[in-house]
Amino acid sequence: MKVNKEELLTKCIRIIDEKLENIQQAINGYQQDLNSETKSSAGDKHETGRAMLQLEMEKLGQQYQTVLSQKNSLRKIETSAKNKAQIGSLVVANGGYYFLATSIGQVKYEGKTFMVISINSPIGQLLLGKQKDDCFTFNGKQLKIDEVL
């Protein structure tokens, strides 16, 4: 199987960039709402509304930092071929494709579905250090590694 891991990594970075953009748009929307909140005669209601907007903005800010950290991790990944599964490896097991990078989930690329996973995820931990023809059990299912790229 021939997969261009550089292109797959670039696609993952684009997905992360979209997430960052969506979070930033939501933050900007809340900021506008916060700025346009006018003081009403029901002062407590006004303050409660502002506090809720502030909380939402804080949550989004934390999400933004987490996703930004994922992007920084992706940029450091070395995609050269490896014999043992490690960060940057593409592992093919029982016809499933696992890209050890960061937790993004399913990514469609070249007509295939890749699970882009963190090495800290349960399956990432099981794959770490494995080689071609190694076997492991995940969710009660026996899997055999066909390739490590």
Residue-wise pLDDT tens digits, 86-131: 999 999 999 999 999 999 999 999 999 999 999 999 999 999 999 9
pTM (predicted TM-score)? 0.88
CB 23 within 8 A of CB 67: yes
* Residue 3 pLDDT level (bands cut at 50, 70, 90): confident
pLDDT one-digit tens code per residue, 58-94: 999 999 999 999 999 999 999 998 899 999 999 999 9
The pLDDT value given to residue 42: 52
The pLDDT value given to residue 37: 66
pLDDT one-digit tens code per residue, 42-68: 556 667 888 888 999 999 999 999 999
The pLDDT value given to residue 46: 65
> Which of the pair, 44 or 34, is modelled with greater confidence?
34
Residues 6+ away with beta carbon under 8 Å from 134:
144, 145
Tokens, residue 88: 């940057």
The pLDDT value given to residue 47: 78
Residue 41 pLDDT > 50:
no
Please give the Cα distance from 122 to 95 (Å, whole number).
Answer: 19
> Which of the pair, 47 or 13, is modelled with greater confidence?
13
Q: Where are the domains of the chain?
A: 5-75, 90-148
The pLDDT value given to residue 78: 93
